[in-house]
A and B are shown apart, each in its own frame.
Chain A
Amino acid sequence: MHEKEHPNEKIGVYVCHCGSNIAGTVDVEDVAKWAAEQLKHRGVVIARDYKFMCSSLGQELIEKDIKELGLTRVVVAACSPHLHELTFRTACKNAGLNPYLCELVSIREQCSWVHTNRTAATEKSKAIIAGGVERVIWHEPLTPLKVPIHPATLVVGGGIAGIQAALEIADAGYPVYLVEREPSIGGHMAQFDKTFPTLDCSACILTPKMVLAGTHPNITLISWAEVTHVDGYVGNFQVTIKQKPRYVNTELCNGCGICQEKCPKKVIDDIFEAGLGNRKAVYTPFPQAVPRYPVIDRENCTYFQKGTCRACEKFCPTNAIDFTQKEELLQMDVGQIILATGYDLFDPRRIPQYGYGRLANVFTSLEFERLTNAAGPTGGKIVLRDGVTVPKTVGIVHCVGSRDKNYNNYCSSICCMQSLKFAHLAEERTGAEVYNFYIDMRTPAKSYDEFYQRVLEEGTHFIRGRVASISDAARNPGEEGKLIIQVEDTLIGKQRRIPVDMVILSAGLEPRRDHKETARLFGLSCSADGWLIERHPKLDPVATMTEGILIAGCVQGPKDIPASVVQGAAAAARVLGKIQQKEVTMEPIRATVDQDKCSGCRICNNLCPFNAILFHADRAVSEVNPALCQGCGTCVAACPAGAISGTGFSDQQVLSQIEGLLMLNVRQLEAVPA
């Protein structure tokens, strides 16, 4: 039923050495020779091995054979199809063969790289190639589907990466929806005072971009909102966004801020001020917020909780306060999506021996950022938790929650530079004696190491060693009233106790607490650490495996501001490239129903998560809408009548591949007398 006993195809088999990547473990000459002899009866007319099949010479080899030998099918045994499928399909296309008549089988990732026994790896390669040959016989010439692309783009997250991406696309003349969860865009960068290594004022360089994003005619800014549902596919996504009620009519509000002055309810600001300062129940997180309209925090508003007050409403000069606002669901169509949802700071309470939360003068890096910020709770004064005492000694602990197998194995990449910046600022503004406790100094980017040299020259102490504990238990009069940092100085090989007034924990970056929900919402994968996985770690860092969804900034992994900006711009370039093509090409992997075989049982109807299967009641048959079908093939597997076939992954293709993979063993079994 599923076996072409006498295939009429002319098949070419190409075995790649990949330098020594494959040839080091697999006897490629033997494999090619075997394929030429043993698969001849299946239609293999030529089998070659070559040093680099993906090189232009390797591709020309295939093209030449197609033209001269009249090949009708091509099997390339090389690396993963996720890497070079397109390369070899294009080579076939150039030689006039339909690109889908080419099959790339992986003997590198799945064989030579993971096995050590040369005989076993060579035999497995033969089996894999036999599977590919049996499969390719059943390939059909296909044409990629083309669908128009919606020109609008959704950018999720209004930090620096998201702002950059939105601006690039908007400047090119295409519409952008910029969605931000907090009342204002700006992200973590808005919380910082200075940026390393130039010591630029963070707000001075960020706020112009925020204002641009807020006023750009092509950007629709939707703050205080979250994406709740995503449907569709590249070029045609349908997105649902939950707009939380601001209780402020943005058409009337002029951002004067009187409501914030008059609101009697003070609330500790855990997000923007990192718990160090207060805001009101009606608030904008910071003076330069974009958009400038405040929100009312329902949980803390006296009116919402007790039914009285309404001070903001009374004093608002434009009558913009509206307590009746309800949550709204906004629906929009977009062609592509950029995710730039950023990071969360590692919570140092998880390392109890560092005393954060228990010892008052242990601060997190974000808290220290707010202390140094002129717009922060202390007006930029570096003081202890009591709000007045200037520290005489400051200890900065690196790698808190990073490079630690108990918490996160990875390096958070920004903490060394951030700690150097803190050291410089603390020294400059308080004259304090500053100690840095580091494992390794990592200052790899432009002008970073020069900054390290500068801080060294300023007299900051550097102690190499991971801090064991921070306590307030004094052992001698010199330690009274101090925080004592216990550390092994690995450069002198001694335990040391350093008494300081203030400790700053350079906490690592972690994926957002809700990163799993985000990944699921957009159909993406996370690494074991929780960062979203890019399409290729070296060559495609902003694309994902889901066509049309890109990632930028810290959502992909810890990085500094320049790297986030680069990724935002790179993602935007990708988006623009697609929009300008006006249509997207999609893999023609789709299910189709043979209407003559369909019995109308409707088993398939409920299996499709994309609602791609329609039932024609009049004719009692089902039909697949190719525009909605994503090609998973679940309905193909379920159809009891065998009426649904999946292009690219048909029953015949898979069954024949199984047969091919087992061909060698069957022969061996037959060779052994029972």
Chain B
Amino acid sequence: MRRFKVFTSLVKDSFDIITRGSKKYHLWMGLLTFIMLVGMYCYSIQLDQGLSVTGMTDRVSWGLYISNFTFLVGVAAAAVMLVMPTYVLKDIDFKQAVLIGEGLAVAALIMCLAFVVADMGGPSVLWHMIPGIGVFNFPNSMLTWDVIVLNGYLFLNISIPFYILFRHYQGKESKKSVYIPGALLSVFWAVGIHLVTAFLYQGLQARPFWNNALLGPRFLASAFAAGPALIILVLAIIRTYTEFKIKDKTLKKIAMVVTVAAQINLIMLISELFKEFYAPTHHSESAYYLFFGLDGKTALLPWIWTAISLNVLATVLLTFHKLRNNFRVLFFSCFILFVAIWIEKGFGLIVPGFIPGPYGKIAEYTPTGIEIGVTLGIWAMGAFIFTMLAKTAIGIETGTLRYKK
């Protein structure tokens, strides 16, 4: 009963704290709400007329939605890079950042699920996928594995920080014996969500561009670069605009993680490029389309070369200690690395899988305005959720939010 009372009070207090703030804060939330409404309007058109309002066709049957979904799974998985040092290796420097990282994972996972739902042709019959009342094709379909790991990871990332914050809210220390098992599990689970998502594509013998053993490991490397890079940027914003002080040392340690992951990612990229272009086969055509274009069709060329150059530039900048320890350079590199991997692991991965088609047909894909609207709406929703979570967490951690007996 007492717990329930504390919980109600926590909900009330956090509602108070997220509805109050500076002018800038209100402006930010207002902007996000506006984008979300636009996105919802676009989605209502899509619901009404069907997926024909998107740029997808029978030839390229997955597009922007699935691309963003794939990328965001990586962002969600990246929270492990903070969870592991804090809870398992007991590195005190990560302690403040870890809650933010988990909040980011929650927001990213909700965006993932939203992107999958947006991509469905029949969202009204999605209950067919609920185990128990529908038919869940487990373990044959990798998509069912993905449903399990994503929802499980979402649960872990909500419950662990919730427990810690709930204790701190009452002015108590959180008990290690309670959250350490969950944290340990989430370390393995994080690797799981990204590997399983890679297997979704990797297991298709029909698409040689994806049917490649390096896909899963490369997903992990790029995720552990892009995710922590985003966390660095978010922490930088938080420490400028809030009371929550994050030490330079924390940022520098996360930067180290980003650097190593980006380097590994680059090595794997070179390995992939070597395999595709040293002795090109029929199966290298998708890679040719992506990097050089086929038959004068070159829609992805500017994107992928931007991504590659940003990727290389960021990795080089991060590799030199002097440059990495300069925060301006660090934030810049993190930003371009994030953009580069968003392109590369998003539509740079999904779209070429379909081009050329099974019989060599080259039909290009360009997202429509409605598709982009829905995508932006979902990103805004993610940012909105993250802002609310972070504001509450910071309130509790800085001690402004406490249970009054």
Our verdict on whether A and B bind, yes or no, reads no
A residues near B, CB below 8 A?
Answer: none
